[in-house]
Amino acid sequence: MRVFTFFLISLLSVCSFAQLSIKGTPKSFKSFALNTVVPFVELQQPDMNVVDVEDAKADADGKAYRNGILLNTSITPELNGVWDFLPDGSAIWRIGVRSENAIALGLYFSAWHLTPGIEVYVYTPDKSFVIGAFTELNNIDLNTMATQEIPGDEAILEVFIPDRNQQFDLALNQVSYFYRGISVVKNEKSSGACEVNVICSEGNNWRDQIRGVAKITMILSDGTYMCSGSLVNNINQDCTPYFLTADHCSVSQSGVAVTTSQLSQWTFRFNYQATTCSGTVSGSSNVYTGATYKASDTYGEDESGSDFFLCRLNNTPPAAINPYYNGWSYLTTAATSGVGIHHPAGDIKKISTYTSTLSNYTTHWGVSWVATTNGHGVTEGGSSGSPIFNQNKIVVGTLTSGASACDNLTGADYYGKMSKHWTGIGTTSDKNVKYWLDPSNASGGTLTGRNSCVAGLDDVAYIRANIHLYPNPAADFLSIDFSDYNIENGTLIITNILGKTVAAPLTGDFASIEKIDVRELEPGMYYLMIQSQNASVSLPFMVE
């Protein structure tokens, strides 16, 4: 499957927890001649007595931390909701979903393909929490999509179409009923009282490493789950967004491994952390949807191996969010001190500290945490897959399980060794991390981390301000001025409003002025799609 390589910087005008999207406001908020009643589809809440029993056993067995139950539905604009057709030829479609007493709802789409100009939003009925606009830049090969958590037990889905005859695909087939681990929308602490926020002084020497760690929300066969993980650097140091977590995070309570389609709907939340040491609420965070499988062992299914899962994010986090690609060591020498950085119980990012040499087991390191100035960091459900760092500030393992807790501060935790991840359970590319991170062992065993690369398209607002199209409208030739923003290994594609390519693509490095012949195009609106190795963005223009 082709790796999907678009992204946009996360922007949102209403709430601070922004999902990958273009800043926008639902068109219905500004229109006064719409149907006032949005119909809601009622979804039966799960039997929480059954869920609690299942979770108690799974948590005790060290399984991934489930926090949502999937409710099946079948919602499409053709069969559900309400349409409003506006005088300018545009249209708005809306539908609501409700499941009583949910902490939050997540929307999962089995069909998703938007054509240029279409905007999709999701928001709470009181309009206090809005995500979107999602556009054609959110299309991927698998035609799937997922949203971050929407607080409360009701959510409204809205689609704006600039031309009522415009074609698109959208089908909502599952809604996650979140019932725990959603402090992001509850604005309250979900982890234990002993945990230490990364913004505290304990994190002062680890500021770079903290930026690489993210919270994952995974969709699996029997629900949605939470784990932690980290961006990791590779020997080319080219900011390929490889992301390392635990294999058991990819397997459901019932033992079913993640599918390619489900992995495309995982969400990765960066910068989800408090702004004060005593804070319980995150500042602005950034969510990216989807990943592509690269390698793993089978620990989640049969406890064989060191418990690693390596994927590549479908979206390269832009430089604007300040990501960090953590370094690593596959050497076998036990670390003498360091930290673990993680999202316990799905909460804001925490840090745990150790000051004695790691215990050495065959496939795992053992660690016991110590009290520090602002608490006594431990791990909890949701911490699984998170990195443990050595005294040199590089990753030496990922969390599998353990006994530490705020009521068991001296309990030991166990991290799968990076040295065992390295060799994996076979020599093929899907069985070890070596193939992806350093296939020739050129690093000699260790690689330091790095900040975001500056090449490529990393900030849509900046791009649109610094790549200039003229004349607009164009009659004979469209000039594209890259003088203020150079593109390496790029492709220029002209599409019509339906997304069809209408001119031969141009490829190469673009640093000055490029001209495209538009004399054969009919008058109307078109899009210039600029693609690089890391991203793509479209810019509209008119032909006279």
AA identity, residue 525: M
248 as an active site residue: the answer is: yes
Question: With 0-12 CB in 10 A as exposed, 13-18 as middle and 19+ as buried, what is 45?
Answer: middle
Residue in the block written with tokens 């969510």: 287
The reply to whether omega before 171 is within 30° of 0 (cis) is: no
Which one from 55, 153, 247, 307 is the annotated catalytic residue?
307
307 as an active site residue: the answer is: yes
For 60, the token pair is 């005790």
How close are the terminal C-alpha atoms of the chain, in Å? 39
Q: Where are the beta strands (DSSP E) in 471-535?
A: 477-481, 487-496, 506-510, 513-517, 524-531
AA identity, residue 162: P
Neighbours of 121 (CB within 10 A): 22
AA identity, residue 417: K
Q: How far is 380 from 405, CA to CA, in rounded Å?
A: 7
Q: How far is 92 from 113, CA to CA, in rounded Å?
A: 17
Which one from 384, 386, 419, 452 is the annotated catalytic residue?
384
310's CB contacts (< 8 A; 6+ apart) are: 232, 242, 243, 244, 294, 295, 296, 421, 433, 436
243 close to 234: Cβ distance less than 8 angstroms: no
Question: Residue 369, Cα to own-chain centre: how many angstroms?
Answer: 29
447 close to 439: Cβ distance less than 8 angstroms: no
Residue in the block written with tokens 């992995």: 263
Q: How far is 351 from 498, CA to CA, in rounded Å?
A: 48
Q: How far is 363 from 381, CA to CA, in rounded Å?
A: 21
Q: How far is 335 from 339, CA to CA, in rounded Å?
A: 10
66 close to 174: Cβ distance less than 8 angstroms: no
The reply to whether omega before 471 is within 30° of 0 (cis) is: yes
36's CB contacts (< 8 A; 6+ apart) are: none
Which runs of consecutive H residues, i.e. helices, occur in 123-217?
183-186, 207-212
Which one from 191, 247, 248, 329 is the annotated catalytic residue?
248
Q: How far is 507 from 525, CA to CA, in rounded Å?
A: 23
Q: Write out the catalytic residue numbers.
A: 248, 307, 384
